Chain A
Amino acid sequence: MKKEIEITGYKCKSCGRVHYPFHDRCLDCKGRDFDEIPAEGGAKLLAYTQIFNLPWGFDTRFLIIGVVEFENKVKAMGQIRADSLEGLKTGMKLRPAWEPVRQAAGEDIYGLALYPK
């Protein structure tokens, strides 16, 4: 597992579609050249859930996980820092942060954390 989950979008130079994660060819036009665009701006919540049956590697009672869209169209999954789903709503803005999201082999893995504003 990589130690950092990079949140970098890949904008197709031919058609402009923004991809995340990386693809060797554009999903729309098959173009092979991309501009790298770091996720920028606020994050709009597109989907979310709270899961109670966790996989290997987590020592918490639950996880709240969501998918967000940044202002420059990069869409990414991240962990939502909240005690419950109360107050969360599809379409709301969340504040992104770069934090440890799990541990592997005793080391922190950094990725996208999301805070309700």
Chain B
Amino acid sequence: MRDVAIIGAGMIPFGRRDEDSLLDLLAYSSLKALDDAGLGDKGVDAVYVANMGAGILQHQTSVASALVDRLGLLPAAADAVENGPASGASAIKNGLLAVASGYYNLVLVAGGEKMREVVGWKATDFVATMTHPEVEYPYGITLPGMAGMFTRLYMEKYGLTREQLIAVALKNQRMGALNPYAHVEMVITKEGIYDHPDSVVNNPMAADPLHLYDMCPVSDGSAAVVLCPLEKAKAFSKNVPVVIAGFGQATDTHTLQERDDPTDLKAVTLASQQAFERAKLKPSDVDVAELHDAFTILEIAESEHAGFYKKGEGGKAAEKGETSLGGRLPINMSGGLKARGHPVGATGVAQVVDIVYQLRHELPKERQVKNAKVGFTLNFGGFGNNIVAFVLRRPE
């Protein structure tokens, strides 16, 4: 197996993009990634497109075939990859394996979603189609609802507090306001969403005990990366190659009710352990992480299950500022899903793009983790039933 490097990365501003089609979004980020790599007119061997909902939201299928045609990349191999909100990382994994195996030398991975095209209840319903179609979905459960149940159990078991959740929301929106690609560029205050009497209006209950500002927005957006063998990286591109040092993927029961301990995100632990083992690195080696904070609780729970903190300590760390820039482990310096946004098919790719920027030391100092050498991403599918993690590193 060959070591694989990311030599190009691209992203477009997330948000509400009424003027663009899904294919526009995918094409824009793909061209940015190809141009970032400096490939010029060179073609690629294969394209993997991460998308969860075009068949439902846009009434469009075969988006990978459409994208290679749009980009003039024919006759490259093209596949769409769907793994719910972890589609992006799954698509990168497929590209990684294709390059590592020696089958392909140049692979483009693009992730995109256009969710603001439909009204709110339709978007909520679309995401809820991930739940079990016979024993969960008919009752009206949503992903925020799953997160609400999980949060209450976490509070009861580990003493998690609302102040700890708010610390994540404040940090990520603060960072999002510094990120030109972020959907939400608005700094919020604890007073505005918690202390002040008006916070009941500003920050209403959404899925008890989670409030509006515990949730990520529904977004349009896309992101893309270009992969090649590390040994050929210098021949293809002048960029600092970012090595995909390890990946892990694990699954868990479809329904929450069948987990022995519903607060135990086993697949997060397993995927993270696999990624670290393959990378021959430890959680303590990580300088910066992008975690899947679709809900504030998830950043905290993932930081524990991935091995960065003991169970029950992640919330305290967030509240103490350990996960802020300059802290022990800066998490979601992009603003995370909470502020960058969560176009579901794009998210896993966007997380990797943000870590690539960190490891290439290209970000403004307000978001750049100084001298970052090792990064970590975690993309969370379903409610923890299909997880993909990456450990990325800057070459010595």
Contacts and interface: CB of A to CB of B under 8 A. Distances in A.
B206 A56 contact: no
A47 B206 contact: no
Given A21-B255, A90-B153, A54 B138 contact: no
B149 A48 contact: yes
Given A90-B152, A90-B156, A55 B262 contact: no
A109 interface: yes
A56 B256 contact: no
Contacts of A56: 121-122, 125
B257 A50 contact: no
A77 B148 contact: no
Interface in A51-71: 51-58, 63, 65-67
- Most A CB atoms within 10 A — which of B138, B141, B206, B207? B138
Contacts of B142: 51, 53-55
B149 A54 contact: no
A63 B136 CA distance: 13
B327 interface: no
Contact of B124 (A5, A46, A54, A102): A54
A51 B138 contact: no
A52 B207 contact: yes
A114 B236 CA distance: 62
B208 A77 contact: no
Contact of A109 (B138, B153, B209, B258): B138
A54 B205 contact: no
Nearest to B259: A75
Interface string B188-205: 000000000000000011
Given A49-B152, A102-B138, A55 B255 contact: no
Nearest to A48: B149
B139 interface: yes
Interface residues of B, number: 36
A31 interface: no
Contacts of A65: 139-141, 145, 149
Contacts of B136: 77
Contacts of A109: 138
Interface in B201-244: 204-209
Contact of B257 (A52, A63, A75, A101): A75
A89 B373 CA distance: 46
B149 A53 contact: no
B59 to A, nearest CB: 16
Contact of A111 (B139, B148, B256, B257): B139
A19 interface: yes
Interface in A1-59: 1-2, 5, 19-21, 27, 46-58
Contacts of B258: 19-20, 27, 75
Contacts of B256: 47, 67
A50 B128 CA distance: 15
A47 B154 CA distance: 11
A67 B208 contact: no
Interface string A65-104: 1110000000111110000010000100000000001100
A24 to B, nearest CB: 13
Contacts of B206: 51-53
A5 B138 contact: yes
A21 B132 contact: yes
B122 to A, nearest CB: 7
A101 B139 contact: yes
A46 B144 CA distance: 17
B55 interface: no
Contacts of B148: 49-51
B1 interface: no
Interface of B: 120-122, 124-125, 128, 132-136, 138-142, 144-145, 148-150, 152-153, 156, 204-209, 253, 255-258, 262
21 contacts: A2-B134, A5-B135, A27-B258, A47-B150, A51-B145, A52-B204, A53-B120, A53-B142, A55-B128, A56-B122, A56-B125, A57-B125, A63-B139, A65-B149, A67-B256, A67-B257, A76-B135, A77-B135, A77-B139, A77-B257, A101-B138
Give 9 closest A-B pairs by Cβ, nearest first: A49-B148, A55-B125, A56-B125, A47-B149, A75-B257, A51-B145, A50-B208, A21-B135, A51-B207
Interface of A: 1-2, 5, 19-21, 27, 46-58, 63, 65-67, 75-79, 85, 90, 101-102, 109, 111-112
